[in-house]
Amino acid sequence: MREFDESSITDAVVARMAGSRSERTRQISEALVRHLHAFVREIRPSPAEWEAGIGFLTATGQKCDDQRQEFILLSDTLGVSTLVDAINNPVSGDVTETTVFGPFYVPPPEFGHGDDIGTAIEGLPMLVSGRVRKASGAAASGAIVDVWHSDEAGFYDVQQMDKTGGLAGRGRFTADADGAFHFWTRRPAAYPIPTDGPVGAMLAAQGRHPWRPEHIHFKITAPGCRPLVTHVFAQGDVYLDSDVVFGVKESLIQPYVIHPSGDVAQGRTMSGTWVSLDHTFVLDDQRQA
């Protein structure tokens, strides 16, 4: 068949995928074609609009580099990242809920308990303590806890390496025999995702704000447990109900407690106001990744 019209083109494209090298490849390819063609039939774009769409995707790719992933921002802001996360991580008992990974993770340097990962960034001193246990009740001793967050102005280290001189506000900790860990850092802040690229232009066109509520990222792994990627959000943040990447879950909201000068924490007498966060993380040891 050589001549195709609006009615016949979809079936023709799908038919040519019958020889796919795997059943999964065929399934994904056919679904992509069917839904993409249905989208085009619904919006009926002009050639100029379709060219603009291709230009948008081209610009999104061109904005990606080793420190920024614009396609992750696009996936996040369209709710696709949250949808994929929900499909792959259904809520199970008291297991800590997952949320989106985000575009700013890089493997962090290792630190010891009580170390300060925020010496190169600005903000109120903050003590973060936590425990990692398994859903079965046992402590997840030796769990690897990766942490990363913004500074008080809402910037991550990878966005301002000239200022921080390297990685900052991120670290890797190994939980002790009781599954516990703690470290010092600086309090992060709510922040807008980068808006200087095509995703920012898209949000403006859609009449949406670019803000994420204050949070700290955690990636936790332990033998025999399903890996956990999550945030802990600051209770009371004004953007909890309108997170631009749809990542907030009620169970992940915790108080960031403000303490006055002079309080003693982990052997330190503080000379000014400081903040603390304490949270227990529960890993799924019944279902592997």
* pLDDT, tens digit, 9 for 90 and up, residues 23-60: 999 999 999 999 999 999 999 999 999 999 999 999 99
> So what's the pLDDT on residue 289?
54
Are residues 221 and 76 in contact, defined by beta-carbon separation less than 8 angstroms?
Answer: no
> So what's the pLDDT on residue 30?
98
User: Tokens for 11?
Assistant: 């079936």
State mean pLDDT over 154-183: 92
State mean pLDDT over 195-205: 97
End-to-end CA distance of the chain, in Å?
45
**H-only helix segments in 188-267:** 198-206
Quote the crossing angle between the two packed helices 80-88 and 70-77, to the nearest 10°.
Answer: 80
Are residues 213 and 240 in contact, defined by beta-carbon separation less than 8 angstroms?
Answer: yes
In this structure, the chain runs to a length of: 289
Strands 211-212 and 191-192: antiparallel
| pTM, full prediction | 0.91
Strands 264-265 and 228-234: unpaired
> Predicted confidence band at 83 (pLDDT cuts at 50, 70, 90)?
very high
Residue 288 predicted with pLDDT over 70: no
% of the chain beyond a pLDDT of 90? 83
Residue 205 predicted with pLDDT over 70: yes
User: Tokens for 197?
Assistant: 């690229």
> So what's the pLDDT on residue 1?
62
Average pLDDT, the chain: 94
CATH number for the domain running over 92-192+211-283: 2.60.130.10
φ, ψ dihedrals at 233, nearest 5°:
-90, 150
